[in-house]
Amino acid sequence: MLVDVVAVAVPAPWRLRLRFEDGAEGELDVRELVEFDGVFEPLADPAYFEGVRVNHDLGTVAWPNGADIDPVVLYEAACGSRT
């Protein structure tokens, strides 16, 4: 079962603080999940990275260029595996 992201904050460069629909919260470093090339290349700029928003249609975070990360990957990185 997927758990959608419902809130996002950027506490430091390349870090996301996330809250999920099940109430779980956690923080992660995006540099550990993706390489900053291709669609993710603009995220190497901290100012651009801060443009992240929750895309409620997708249930995950996304940046202005359409880059997004699977919410399951985010959940596992921020909160550990779901039980």
Euclidean distance between CA atoms 58 and 39, whole angstroms? 17
Query: At residue 24, does pLDDT exceed 60?
Result: yes
Confidence band, pLDDT 50/70/90 cuts, at residue 82: low
**Neighbouring C-alpha atoms within 13 Å toward the C-beta of 71:** 24
Helix (H) or strand (E) holding 41: none
Confidence band, pLDDT 50/70/90 cuts, at residue 42: very high
In this prediction the pTM is 0.92
Euclidean distance between CA atoms 57 and 66, whole angstroms? 12
Q: How far, in whole angstroms, is CA 71 from its chain's centroid?
A: 7
Which residue ranges form the domains of the chain, and what is each CATH number? Answer: 5-67 (3.30.2020.10)
Q: How far, in whole angstroms, is CA 74 from its chain's centroid?
A: 6
